[in-house]
Amino acid sequence: MMGHSAGSRVKTALLVAGLLGGCGGGPRGAGTPDHADAGSASASASDWTFVLVQPSGAEGSRWALEKDSGGQPGWVTVRGPAPSTSRIWLRERCEIPDCGVDPAVCGMSLPVVRTLSPGDSLSWRWDGRTSRTRMEGTCEIRQPAAPGRYTVEVCSTREAPQPGDTPADAPHFTGLECSARQVEVPGSGRLVWDG
């Protein structure tokens, strides 16, 4: 590294670390695909796993939005307990910086469609945390969701989705089939939806 000072090497290393540690990439996410490291999930009193299964004897495939354009799992939605029933953010949101942390550069999150052939499954592990905004919405923190009964909705379709208008747009789903169940927070368990 001729011509580069130790200070510029450190700045470069910090920049690379910030880029790699941006939204949706590391263990700081609230939930994780079931097969990934759940990071700090053990710190919470909740540990739920949601699974969508296309049974091995099923005819044809099933499609689900594995990740939406905001980086959230698109096939599973969790809504808070009454009376608010607002959406629970299953992982940090890239468009809102984390409180107390230098802002990281977040890449554009592109929607990901998952094809479930007979015998395939898709799962998501939720540690019972959500994002809360602070300081008039200028930053967010991850914290345990309030105790109560939450609604978990899983959606998929038997019809192949059509591409969105641009790569950043979610695909066009038709024939969407959704099913909802209840979970208690704090709590733990595994909920399975058969396709």
pLDDT tens, position by position, 121-165: 999 999 999 988 887 778 888 899 999 999 999 999 999 999 888
**Residue numbers of the chain with a pLDDT score lower than 70:** 1-44, 105, 107-108, 195
Residue pair 131/23 in contact by the 8 Å Cβ criterion: no
SS (H, E, C) 16-32: HHHHHCCCCCCCCCCEE
Domain boundaries, the chain: 6-194
Predicted pLDDT of residue 105: 66
Give the predicted TM-score (pTM) of the model: 0.71
